[in-house]
Amino acid sequence: MKPPARVRKAPAQVVQTAQRAAAATLRAASSGYKELGAGETPYRADFKRGIEATVDKAGGKPPQRNQAQELVFEDAPTFRPVFEPSQVIRQGAFGGTYWRPIVSGVTGEAIKDAWKEFPDDWFKGVPAKLLTASWPRYDAAVNRYGVKCGGSLDMWESSGWISNIDPYGWFQWYCRFFLGRRSSDDARQIQRWNSVAGPGGRFKNQLIGRCARASTTHDDATISPVIRQSLLHWGYELSEKHAAAYVKKKKLPTLKPAASKVDFRTLGLAVGSKPSNQTGKVGTGKKAAAGAKPTGKTPASKSKQPASSKRKAPAAAATSSTKKRAKK
């Protein structure tokens, strides 16, 4: 008998060409590409493949607040955001566009109402302009700091930073991680957070340096509102403790003491509301993650909102139709 014929593998160059062609097809049909304005060029000429990730069968435990009011995840000790996902949205973020319907340039799927997989109380009373506005209707005025920040969907997708299980990006990952879903992409996403808002986070430390050199308080909203808005999107706000530690380490000019203390546990929530009970479905974009556990309660607080005149009222709880824009 003749030995079976050997299957010849396609040359690497042929494979790469086919992959680029497939990526180009996905990109052409994606919302990120179609949202480009007239005369606007794509962020990149090429299109990197997204992250291929999988959902773990086992879920994680709910976070707890430490004395510094950081959210502490038992299985991710270096990940310390201060805001729950609902607090990010309620304070005014992403120009109101984050949960808009999209056609993903990573999966090719048309996605709508992705926010509905999460607990109802996260979005109760939140107007549509804070959730599902189209990209051309990005409204900086709904953002907490009144400024526009962040890149386009085309930028994130074409750079290869979006995974197949979280086609909306990092904040979608955070919403699901917060509720207990765990995946093969967690370490990368946590590292991204640390590079922005962790102990060595470039955005956080840039902000501290600017406040120190301006001889003002750590929470002076007129200093780098774009950075402050960006940090909010990552679930973080600069604390007096973190700012003082960095100033001491780098021997920067001393910061002025803040006029009031901030309670991160309730910031952004409507008066009388408690932190989320964190119960809800843990999604992957198609179905709930197998074995993911609903999470429990974080300590509630009845502390009053800070009275500082420098702090903008949370967007979802604001009663005035006029909003002052912070200077860049």
User: Residue-wise pLDDT tens for the chain (328 aa)?
Assistant: 666 666 666 677 776 777 777 777 888 889 998 998 877 888 888 888 889 999 999 999 999 999 999 999 999 999 999 999 999 999 999 999 999 999 999 999 999 999 999 999 999 999 988 999 999 999 999 999 999 999 999 999 999 999 999 999 999 999 999 999 999 999 999 999 999 999 999 999 999 999 999 999 999 999 999 999 999 999 999 999 999 999 999 999 999 999 888 899 988 876 566 665 444 444 554 443 433 333 333 333 333 333 333 445 455 544 333 333 344 4
Q: What's the pTM?
A: 0.81
> Which pLDDT does position 216 carry in this prediction?
98
What angle (nearest 5°) sits at the alpha carbon of residue 290, between those of residues 285 and 295? Answer: 90
Q: Which residue has the tokens 């546990």?
A: 265
Q: How far apart are CA 203 and CA 230, in angstroms?
A: 8
CA distance 189 to 197: 12
Distance, in Å, from the CA atom of 186 to the CA atom of 175, rounded to the nearest integer, reads 12
Distance of CA 25 to the CA centre of its chain: 27
What phi and psi values does residue 102 have, to the nearest 5 degrees? -140, 160
Amino acid at 240: E
d(CA 145, CA 244): 23
